A and B are shown apart, each in its own frame.
Chain A
């Protein structure tokens, strides 16, 4: 017993000042609440979110109980005082891409609109566990893009300079520095694709994706937001052009504002509102995890001669992924040729992993926009707000996406940070094409 008190004392001593203050105010999750509940048999914990029946009407309905929908509801309540909000989720909370991604968080973009937006997201990530009083296990272990040709390294230098110009951290690494950072990497000149350097963002890293969904859900719930699971939207209620609510599998729900944040299902939901075409295609992206290994790599690594990225989870599994399967799909499962391709890219970098066994693979449906950048906007119909086009980089955007979308919903106009992410930018020729390779639904 004396020993456990000592542990609690040590824990409190090691907490940052902001968390100590929250502890004194008896935050729901704290060392004190942990101790109190441990002493009372853990009978008093409340569920992280309620299971309310939907009310007849709300100020705002958010369609989609994924990361972006939940963070939108959270910031609507926290930043704008709009708490009469429902989040409608067709399945269970976090069953889509927020629980299917490879957890990387970074802000290493080239173009200013993207860089500013993702850097805002990074700053929200850096305080997210404290803000939510929920440990999202944000780990700034860095993200290293490997360069395999001098031209590619020049391109990375250009992107790194663009990032630093906007106040984002970036540094070029030499092959020797990379070899020290990732000893398992084949950095020899005889490697299949020799490594000539890399671009590192030290503040990038990973976060526990499920905890992000659960933390935002609890934060929104405690501020009065109704999170309604197993409630699929089947149509929109309209007054002329204006959207006035939704029909769902749990009845009609009216709202002054209806916000759509449904990622891969964007095409299906917009069709319910009579919008037949969007600058988006839905594609399946696979992810993989190996059996647990001893500490092997402590950064997020990306391959420059193909499409491959890898990190190691706290459980020890290598978490990695590659390219889209390549054809339109709403099926949350992938095909074997991509499994083969991703494995071969992994072995090109790490020949030593040849005998490591793959534990699981899964697929998520990504809303691939035609320029690789997202859409956060009012409209396209009166009373409607749209958040989509996350390609396969939506997880890292979760905080800023919700923050900007909440602003857009509350004020009926975009924040400066998402002003460029319009739906009509394609028509106006104002695409945000970070790779500079033209319209294709394969960018990110």
Chain B
């Protein structure tokens, strides 16, 4: 499986560390909303199909990435920096390498 890092281009999956489900919303640290904490810690959408997830390019530029990957085919449809204020999106296409 290849993941296209927005900095580094397409790289083998062994360079990346899986950080899990990207749909989870972490409550504010002071929040006492048990439902929100329970949902964050334990509940998963676990879709069979496109999955919004976080990967870190730990063997490369160390950027955290938001990746949309199909859990049935392992096909990656988009990668982007996970940081919210960064808008650049790398599409998982060969021509983006250049």
Contacts and interface: CB of A to CB of B under 8 A. Distances in A.
B71 A282 contact: yes
Give chain A's interface secondary structure class: mixed
Interface of B: 1, 12-14, 18, 21, 34, 38-39, 41-48, 51, 53, 69, 71-74
B74 A278 contact: no
Contacts of B53: 327-328
Contacts of A441: 44
Contacts, number: 63
B38 A426 contact: yes
A267 B48 contact: yes
Interface string A416-439: 000000000011000000000001
B42 to A, nearest CB: 4
Contact of A439 (B14, B42, B71): B42
Nearest to B41: A439
Interface of A: 265, 267-268, 276-282, 326-331, 335, 337, 370, 426-427, 439, 441
B71 A427 contact: no
27 contacts: A265-B48, A267-B44, A267-B45, A267-B47, A277-B39, A277-B44, A277-B46, A278-B46, A281-B21, A281-B44, A282-B46, A326-B18, A327-B18, A327-B53, A328-B46, A328-B53, A328-B71, A330-B71, A335-B1, A335-B13, A337-B12, A337-B13, A337-B14, A370-B44, A426-B41, A439-B41, A441-B44
Given A370-B42, A427-B42, 9 more contacts: A268-B48, A276-B45, A277-B39, A277-B45, A278-B43, A279-B44, A329-B71, A329-B74, A331-B71
Contacts of A282: 46, 48, 71
A330 B50 CA distance: 11
A277 B43 CA distance: 5
A330 B72 contact: yes
B82 to A, nearest CB: 15
Contacts of B38: 426-427
Contacts of B43: 277-279
Contacts of B34: 427
A147 to B, nearest CB: 28
A327 B71 CA distance: 9
